Amino acid sequence: MVSKEDIKKILDGYDKKNLSIATVCSHSSLQIFNGARKEGFRTIGIAIKERAKFYDAFPLGRPDEFIIVESYDEIFDLTDRLIEENAIIVPHGSFVEYLGASRFKELPLPTFGNRRVLEWESDREKEREWLEKHAGIKMPKKIDDPRNIDRPVLVKYYGAKGGRGFFIAKNYAEFKMGIDWNKKYSIQEYVLGTRYYLHFFYSPIKEDGYKVSKGTIEMLSIDRRDESNIDEIYKLGAQEELKKMGIFPSFVVTGNVPVVLRESLLPKAFDIAERVVESSIKLFGGMIGAFCLESIVTDELEFNVFEISSRIVAGTNPFISGSPYADLIEPGLSTGQRIAREIRMAAEQDRLDEIIS
């Protein structure tokens, strides 16, 4: 991984009054550019050719400058140019996915957040160790041997972004029917309940708000994902019948819907977020900035967290002009703007190295 010292050296050379914010044109980039613009930053969009045109449709989400590339890996050839522009990279899910976690860790550019989180987040075993063992959070039960499937389970392939190829099985026979033996997989209890994707922001430098040992946590919004085809498959009748026709439930994300939690669940949600943040501080110096806890609430009103995403998620996109939660912090605040605000506050206090890696 690129060292903190190397990044610090680059940052030391930056004109802190003239920073720009750069990201890859995809995922939540409209929101990131819009938020950066609101905080007075210049913005740079790294785009594959055809992508740039689409931004003309949204002038307030369009970056000030495009850098057009053939492939995202070219960003490694652009470092001098980006450094000249005092650019801070704001990563999002697709950014990390396009480069791959290991390439992303090597990117020699000042990047918002703590890259050390990837070590814990991008490996399902380590993610479980962090959340279950260190943070004490309830996760869906893991089943090691498919022959022991004694309840509905979800079979997840490693690196299958957006749930592609995941399938449900209720016994070993169904598992065998669906499994692709060439892929690495894990088996999880299928938790029956309602899904909530909780969007938080951890700041090590903001002092007022929901306090943790260092800094504060904010809840900015909550969404639920639209997933095809699972969300609509019930309209065709029993899944068992459909399977005979070769139609299996899938979990490909196609969009996001805003939701709110019943208010009595909010303290529990904060408690979970706090434990995740505190354990991250102990394990790797803190998961800084936006993060999302992907959870299912059962009818016992218990949260099960099945995944963590430690950067801005696309589920924050319905909230470009605020949310029922963000509006209680500051009307109209988006996660994109909150990220830019953190960078601005840190620059003003000469504390950029605490939020950049």
For ligand ATP, the binding residues (CB under 6 A) are 140, 154, 156, 160-163, 166, 188, 190-191, 195, 225, 227, 251, 294, 296, 306-307, 309
From the list 196, 39, 35, 118, the residue with the least C-alpha distance to 107 is 118
From the CB of 166, what's the least distance to ligand ATP, in Å?
6
From the CB of 279, what's the least distance to ligand ATP, in Å?
20
CA separation for the pair 83, 99 (Å, rounded): 19
**One-letter amino acid identity for 160?**
A
From the CB of 196, what's the least distance to ligand ATP, in Å?
11
Our CB check for ligand ATP shows the closer of 55 and 200 to be 200
From the CB of 352, what's the least distance to ligand ATP, in Å?
29
From the CB of 83, what's the least distance to ligand ATP, in Å?
30
Q: Do the Cβ atoms of 3 and 310 come closer than 8 Å?
A: no
Our CB check for ligand ATP shows the closer of 188 and 317 to be 188
From the CB of 191, what's the least distance to ligand ATP, in Å?
4
From the list 97, 52, 46, 90, the residue with the least C-alpha distance to 336 is 90
Our CB check for ligand ATP shows the closer of 252 and 329 to be 252
Our CB check for ligand ATP shows the closer of 119 and 327 to be 119
**Measured at the alpha carbon of residue 141, what is the angle toward residues 135 and 144, in degrees to the nearest 5?**
115
DSSP state for residue 132 in the 8-state scheme: I
Our CB check for ligand ATP shows the closer of 161 and 184 to be 161
Q: Which residues pair with 89 in a beta bridge?
A: 22, 111
DSSP state for residue 117 in the 8-state scheme: H
From the CB of 27, what's the least distance to ligand ATP, in Å?
11
Which two three-digit tokens encode residue 112? 């918002």
Handedness of CA 94, 279, 188, 201 (dihedral sign): negative
Our CB check for ligand ATP shows the closer of 160 and 345 to be 160
**Measured at the alpha carbon of residue 102, what is the angle toward residues 97 and 141, in degrees to the nearest 5?**
70
Q: What is the DSSP string of 158-199?
A: TT-GGGTT-EEESSHHHHHHH--TTS-EEEEE---SEEEEEE
Our CB check for ligand ATP shows the closer of 105 and 156 to be 156
